[in-house]
Every structure is written in C-alpha cells, then in structure tokens.
Structure 1
Amino acid sequence: MVEIIRLHYPILKTINSAQQVVAMGFFDGVHLGHQKVIKRAKIEAERRNVPLAVLTYDPHPIVVFKALTEPLRYITPIGKKSELLADLGVDIVYVMQFTSLLSTLPPQKFVDDVVMQLNPVTVVGGFDHVYGGDPKIADMIHLPKYAQKRFDVISVSELDDGEHKIGSSSIRLALDNGEMAIVNRQLGHIHQTTGLVVHGEARGRELGFPTINIKTPELEHLPAIGIYIVEVMIGSDWHLGMASIGRNVTFGDARPITVEINLLDFNQEVYGENVTINWHSYLRGEIKFANVIDLISQLKQDEIATRQYFNTLG
C-alpha cells in the first residue's frame, strides 16, 4: 500500500529523515512516458537500496494560472494516480498543494525549500519537467546546478508510440475526439472513470436494452459523445457493456449529456452503487434515428460488435 503525504508550502515540519529516490512530475494519466520515468527511478532506488517516492501536485498548475471556462478534467484523479504509481513500485506519494506562492518560487529556492525536505539521494524527472517560477531555467538541464552536489539527477528521454509523442495533452485531445485506440495505446492501460448509478428515464428498458445511468465526478475526463465498448465493475464483479455518452437526440433536441450503459446479460437494479468503467473502444457516433425501430436495430448491431470485440480478447 502506497503512503500518501500531503504537503503545503512552506513546509514547516520534518517529512522524512531517510534518504530516498524522488521522481518529480504531475503524472496525469501515468501513461507510458510517465511509466518510463518511474521505472528508471525504481531501478535507481533498488540499486541504492532506498525507498522510491514521487513528488506530484494538486491541483493541476493550469487551474492556478488560467481562468477556466469549465472545470479541468483529469485523466487520473489523485486516488487513481496513486494506485497506478503503487503498481509501479512507488512507496510514497507526496502531493504538494499547487499555489500561487509555490508557482513563483525561483528554482534554487524550490530545490532548497521543497526538494531537499524529501532528503533525496537522486532526483528523476522527464526531459520536459519544469519546477519553480521560470520554466526557461527551472528545467532538468539546470537541476544539477541547483542540486549543488547534494543529490544526483537523472533526466529521462522522450517516448513516442511510433506515430505521436506520448503525453497527457495528446491523450486529452484523443479523449475529446473519442479516439480510444490512441488513448489506451499511449496510457499503456485502459482508460478508467468512476461513477454512481442513479435513476434515469427508464427508456432503455422499454426498448429491450435496459441501461444503468451513471453520474460521473465532474473532474474525471470522459471520452467524447458517442457509443463505446466498456467493462463495468459493480461490487467486485466486472460486466461487459456498451455505453452511450450523449444527449439521446432521437427523443428530443437540446437534451443534457448523460452516460448510460447497457450491461450484457445483466438485469438487476443497482441504484446507489459506485461503479468503475473501463473504456475499451469507440463504436460509433451518436445518431438521431427517424424512429424507435431503427434505433433498436442499431442497438442490436452494437451488441453484436461488443460481443465480438470481447471474444477477440479471449
């Protein structure tokens, strides 16, 4: 179990007297590029026989620096991020509150007042990681100067998937376009969100395709409007399904966006249950059908495609 320690600048208490390797980064998504950084840090920690810690931040710096027209949505909220980091062998996750004061620290002061509080023997970061107030000089290239021989520095090179640079920004863009093949390839795992089962209009049951309606946390990044192949965990059991993110345009215009999932071979009432959703693959866009018969016909085709998809996975 990973230990999570929340920090606020200035740090007024002693954190850890033992030496450790520290990997720095925001790590939203814990994608393959992030995994490369953590795995390199893990090798260093094992070589030195010390714990592996991560220094990350909350909220995202963009929340501090920009007036957003809508809430920033995370690929992996802090709880999920910590789980994924633990799976990679991280022992401690330091979550630093990202504030205006922290954002304006000169890089030398950031190293002296924040990094050194973690007693690092080595600091590891991605090639493009920045810290402190001026990104032009608060980068991995300059970090050895600020370290003043108090710790070693390892900078991890860029990673691509053969077509695109792997990065949180490109994953968010792919999510906004419903491109789950790109999302999941760059993540190195299936994109996941959570939610609560709530009452809907019960229209799916009338169509012969009963759905569970999901209220998703506002800060979790859903894919674009469309129909998707998914798995849903209810309790400790996973169920196959097809999910609709959309406005149910067949039944009217200007409707709110909802998340509805038809679970295959499942017909139980599960209102109030917390669920986890794995977003496997994009099936199609949302269509405004001329009539209910055409909608049902398409849903039957979607079900066939969903079953075939999971059959190919073995």
Structure 2
Amino acid sequence: MEIIWLDDKNLKEWQCRSRRNVIALGFFDGVHKGHQKVLQTAGLIAEKEGAAFDVMSFFPHPKTVLSNGRITVDYLMPLEEKARALEAFGVDRFYIVKFTKAFASLLKEEYVDTYLKRMGTIHAVAGYDFSYGFRGEGTIDSLTADSGGEITASKVEKVTYRGEKISSTRIRSAILNGRISETEALTGRKYRTCAVISGGHLSLKPYYMLPQDGVYDVIIDTGTRQYDTQIHVDNRVQKISFTRRCLLDEIDHNEIAITWKRRVATYSRYQLVAQ
C-alpha cells in the first residue's frame, strides 16, 4: 500500500498520477466496526468495477485546526498504525490530506472537483454522517450532484452495538472509563498501545490514550518476548507503573507494545509491589 501525504505543493503531481479508483472517505480514527463497514463496501465495489481501492483521510483533526489549537483531540492510534489497519483491508493507496483552514474553506463542489474528480475517482463510499466542504455542507448524499454526475456514491448507514452508534467518540469514552471489553466489542480487536521504557520510566508514545486510573491485566510485547502481567495507570500524570519491579528491570530500555485485557482493580483497592 502506498501512503501519500497531499498538500498544495504536490497535489497537481498526484492528480497527474491518478488512476481509476473507488475511494473510502473519512477520518478512520480507531478503524472501528463502523469504519470497517465503509472499507468493506468500498473494497467490494472496487473489485466489481476493476478499479483501484483507495482511502482518503486528513490530518490533523479539524477541531484542532479550526480552534487554533485551543481544542486538543485524543487520538486512538497514530497514523502508522491506522495505515497498517487499512492495508489489512486491501487498500491500494492511503491519501492523507493536510487539513488546513484553506482546505476547510473549499466549497463542496471545489472539494469534489479537486480531490476526487481530478484524482480519478469513479465511486465514493462514506458513512451516513460524513461531510465535506465549507461548513460541512457536502454529504455523501450530495456527492453525485456535486460532481456533476461524474461520480457515483454509496452511503453506509449507522453501525450500532447494544443499540448505540459505534463511533470514535464512544471508544474514547470507553477507554477513559476503563471499559476495555467494550472497546474490543466496538473495534473487533483488543486495545493496544505502544510505549518506551527508559531508566525505569515508562511513557506512552504519541497519539495513544491511557485508560482510566486502576490496575489492568495486560500483555507486554518487546518484539522478542511476551509477558502476561499487571500494570497500574495514573491517568492524571499520564504515568504507567509495573506491579512487578523485577519485570521493569528486565525489559528496561525497550520499546514495547501493551495489549490491554481487563481492568481488575482501582488504585485505592490495590497495593503496588513496585512502590
């Protein structure tokens, strides 16, 4: 899969290098089951049409840009992990548009012409709540008209779990409240983060979230070995502590992956061996 950052400097180049494609549109943070439905739909249509299967997203989050940085967004995964998840669905190209105020100010017809028609798109797929163009005036329902009838479109309806919409916002809430099993139900996989250990201190890598305070059963993966263990989270200071000091000493100076299994206790109910 090709990963292509699009901005004003290279946009024309990639328009010239475009080929016939079906494209999935969205932010895709967490690549949850709602996103997966969009990707599966686009992949099937691309196969049927004999076209490339592409994804177009954007970065950073619009809320951060439009608020001049006053609003920060808790991302569920960094872009490289998002790319790996998209590649697993058979995506050929992953376009990441640099989100700017100028991009946000494009009229909906300008967005479709510049980023879809001139990029070779014949069909677009998005969720029912996807919007584009100035003030989000364009939707998947208006896309065919906005393209002058040149691009057809498919809308993926709301995907739910226990009667409520699956969304990145809902997943963030589940993580922040320590509901790890719910996170797995919404994404179809266990929650996973990456961290760096240096001199006995463990810090989360950028664009991951820490669950609510408490003690969790986890799997630590160093790349060469896995450990079933427990860790304590202090979300207020963004700190992770091991309940087994000997394990921390053993894997110090490593980059690790943490797979979160379940929350087993709050800090007040658990006496840490490490302290």
Q: CA deviation at 1:237?
A: 3.0
**SS state at 2:138 partner:** coil
What is aligned with 1:190?
190
Q: Return the alpha-carbon distance in structure 2 between the equivalents of residues 91 and 126 of structure 1.
A: 20
Gaps of 5+ in 2: none
What is aligned with 1:92?
93
1:30 and 1:76 in contact (8 A); partners too: no
Give RMSD over aligned pairs: 2.3
1:14 and 1:117 in contact (8 A); partners too: no
Residues 1:174 and 2:162 are matched in the alignment? no
Q: CA deviation at 1:73?
A: 2.2
> 1:176-227: CA deviations, max 9, x gaps?
1111121111011111111111223xxxxxxxxxxxx421124321211111
Query: Which of 226, 230, 239 is equivalent to 1:258?
Result: 239
1:235 and 1:275 in contact (8 A); partners too: yes
What is aligned with 1:129?
130
Amino acid at match of 1:13: E
What is aligned with 1:115?
116
Mark the CA change 1:295 to 1:278 in structure 2 (over 3 Å): closer, same or farther.
closer
**SS state at 1:240 partner:** strand
Q: Return the alpha-carbon distance in structure 2 between the equivalents of residues 17 and 8 of structure 1.
A: 15
**Size of the alignment, in residue pairs?**
272
- After TM superposition, the structure 1 = structure 2 runs for residues 1-314 of structure 1, keeping only pairs within 5 Å, are 2-9=1-8, 11-15=11-15, 16-67=17-68, 71-135=72-136, 137-200=137-200, 213-246=201-234, 256-262=237-243, 269-287=250-268, 295=272
Q: Return the alpha-carbon distance in structure 2 between the equivalents of residues 95 and 53 of structure 1.
A: 11
Q: Return the alpha-carbon distance in structure 2 between the equivalents of residues 124 and 49 of structure 1.
A: 16
Mark the CA change 1:238 to 1:147 in structure 2 (over 3 Å): closer, same or farther.
farther
**SS state at 1:12 partner:** helix
**SS state at 2:240 partner:** strand
Q: CA deviation at 1:228?
A: 1.1
**SS state at 1:174 partner:** helix
Q: CA deviation at 1:269?
A: 2.5
Q: CA deviation at 1:257?
A: 4.0
Q: CA deviation at 1:236?
A: 3.6
TM-score by length of 2: 0.91
Amino acid at match of 1:3: E
Q: Return the alpha-carbon distance in structure 2 between the equivalents of residues 126 and 116 of structure 1.
A: 20
Q: Return the alpha-carbon distance in structure 2 between the equivalents of residues 183 and 233 of structure 1.
A: 20
Percent identity at matched positions?
25
Q: Return the alpha-carbon distance in structure 1 between the equivalents of residues 19 and 245 of structure 2.
A: 51
Mark the CA change 1:264 to 1:19 in structure 2 (over 3 Å): closer, same or farther.
farther
Q: CA deviation at 1:295?
A: 5.0
1:232 and 1:278 in contact (8 A); partners too: yes
Q: Return the alpha-carbon distance in structure 2 between the equivalents of residues 279 and 146 of structure 1.
A: 44
Q: Return the alpha-carbon distance in structure 2 between the equivalents of residues 58 and 166 of structure 1.
A: 21
1:121 and 1:150 in contact (8 A); partners too: yes
1:240 and 1:264 in contact (8 A); partners too: no
Greater C-alpha Rg = 1
Gaps of 5+ in 1: 201-212, 248-254, 300-314
2:243 and 2:272 in contact (8 A); partners too: no
> 1:243-299: CA deviations, max 9, x gaps?
21128xxxxxxx94411235799576222211111112111221177xxxx655xx9
Q: CA deviation at 1:5?
A: 0.5
Q: Return the alpha-carbon distance in structure 1 between the equivalents of residues 108 and 58 of structure 2.
A: 16
Mark the CA change 1:129 to 1:8 in structure 2 (over 3 Å): closer, same or farther.
same
